[in-house]
Structure 1
Amino acid sequence: MSKKGRRNFSAAFKAKVAVEALKEQSTLAELASKYEVHPTQITEWKKQLLSGSEELFETGKKAHKEADLEQEKDELYKVVGQLKIENDWLKKKSLNRSLAKTGRLALVNKAEKRLSIQRQCELLDLPRSSYYYTPSEETAENLDLMDMIDKTHLKHPYYGVKRMRAELSTPQRPLNEKRIRRLMRKMGLEAIYPKSNTSKPCKWNEKFPYLLRGVDIERANQVWSTDITYIPMARGFMYLCAVIDWQSRYILSWTLSNTLTTDFCIEAVQQAIDRYGVPEIINTDQGSQFTSEEYVTMVKGYGIRHSMDGKGRATDNIAIERFWRSLKYENIYLYSYKSSLELYTGIKEYMAFYNEERKHQSLEEKTPKAVYMGLNDPTAFTTENFLYGSSSFGGLTA
């Protein structure tokens, strides 16, 4: 039996796949199946496209300067040779030991001619087979199970793997903890309960204290919250990030993505700031997207005070958690969207309903929009006198 050779992808092919991933019109699993490419590789190409897009607009002296710097860099690499390259990789390895396996896989760069794929995998403590492995899509049974896990987690957020297995397992369909644990990790779900401080946070991920304990939230834009949730679909799933105003429960912006990366979280917060100004405090959980250097730099750049939930605290980000429950039970679970376009349209319609029509008992039977805008008469709002926000399907934002 002949050994299968390595696949070499052209720059045009990489760009095509990255652009399609950037459109967010298909899940990562659908793209991987369509193009026969590892999902991790698609995520890496998407990141490269985003980070390299600025170079398209570089002109004049800056472009020449960067070209000179690149030439000097190449000459230095020739001088120091293979030893320097491997030392750089060893430094990268030591800085990324806390990364999950998928994160380390994304660091493998096929375009690096001086280091083979095998050597890169060795430096990152990965078996080479992991890089070439193409995971199969989740079965229909697993997608149904993920849907059940999501619903159960909303009702009982304190259920861990053991209790989740006990809740969903039946004599006709026995489940093991390993399967439940894998699916919960893929969905980004974790049991919520106070935990002992037995480990210290990663030193290069900055953490912030919880600033809302005992604070009276009495005005719009005093406190915002943002979070990510898993959205099940008929085939695959997407991730939704939203920004909410605590005082009014008004949804300020939202974005959809087929990958659990930082960029779509930054985009959601940036859109909210562009439309409604800068809040005093923004609260998040301790997820890697919100402790990333890019996100923290953006928040600090606007002078916003960054508040973070305590690890495993169920009520620290209660405003956005309640909204996720409303969204899923009043829309997502009812329609079982079959495509990203259908999902985007459905969420957009629900957001308008939630903000402009759905009255809240806690808001004295007013809508979030009425409270946020400071008007007592909700009927004063119309589509003509208030623009909810421009939106385009290409970026799956609203």
Structure 2
Amino acid sequence: MQGRERRSFTEDYKRQAVELVMSSGRSVPSVAKELGLRDSVLRRWVDKVRQEPTSAAWRPTTQATPMSADQAAEIARLRQENERLRMERDILRKSIANLCRNPDMSFRFIEDHRNMYPVRLMCEVLEVSPAGYYAWRTRPVSERTQANATLLAEVRQVYQDSGGRYGSPRIHAALTSQGRGTSRGRIERMMQRHGIRAIMAPPRRVRTTDSRHDLPIAPNLIMRDFTAPAPNRVWLADITYIPTAEGWLYLAAVMDLFSRKIVGWAMGDHMRTELASLALTMAIQQQRPEAGLIHHSDRGVQYASHAYRQALTTARITASMSRKADCYDNAPMESFFHTLKTELIHHRDYQTRAQAMRDVFAYIEGFYNRTRLHSAIGYATPIEMERKAA
């Protein structure tokens, strides 16, 4: 029996994992499971940080100002009224596209959401009687209705587990892997009927590639052949940006083309060569590739710099670069950044770079590499692909 592979972690990785525990209030076992770590390893990192004087930054230092009984009562009343208005708004938002004043559809909506909202409130908003709903509820349920209800619950569970990021193709793939035989078209129709949609957002573009330099340019060894026979044969690298109230946060990432796993990453308030080098160092440290690996990137000054080329040479890695101003030559990396932004970044409003760093770390290490199903590799996860090839 093959022993468990020993993983190696950079100090940046450890720091992000600890911040995920200390800043989110989540338990060590919960975060460890998400990141694929042993509880004891993560707890050791957390204990080490807590013993440092700087760890006090994670503890609240202010106390709430006492309020009078009248103020507390008024706040409680406003909260109750606000909660009722919120529920009414949610009920209308979730139901208006599908109900069309059809009592049966209204009753089905109430049944599906009875654990979320009060029945009488839903009846009032949808203009049906509670008596009519309870009479409908006692009618015999057909086998088809029961099957649809079961499938809907399974679809919602997969959708929830993905953080709302999966559309019908990935939900269908996830259910198929669980032995649930149903067509993709049926799942798509069910999701449309119940307003279940993968989160999406329009991209915003910022220039991250500066190819206006006289540094050496490596030949394009990939030529848009985005396949690899095994892990650590071809890596792709690129840099993207994340908006915060403090300014841009830049993310440098390295992807293994075979498994689509993000094997190295680094984040900072700049996109100088050091940032790209940190991501490369993490990838080399964690993957320990053999000689002959191809490293493909754009022609940006970060990747053409002497320091970066020297790091590749030292690790016996061969450089490859895209043609000028051609993003399609590095399409899988562009796809990853698009996915990151549509599934996470565009649905957040980061006040600080630290908040964004914690979120991106959790997305890459806890979701993208370990849980997310990738269409390019047969709806498997990067970790599964890597382990299959071991």
TM-score by length of 2: 0.45
Question: Which structure is larger by alpha-carbon Rg, 1 or 2?
Answer: 2
TM-score by length of 1: 0.44
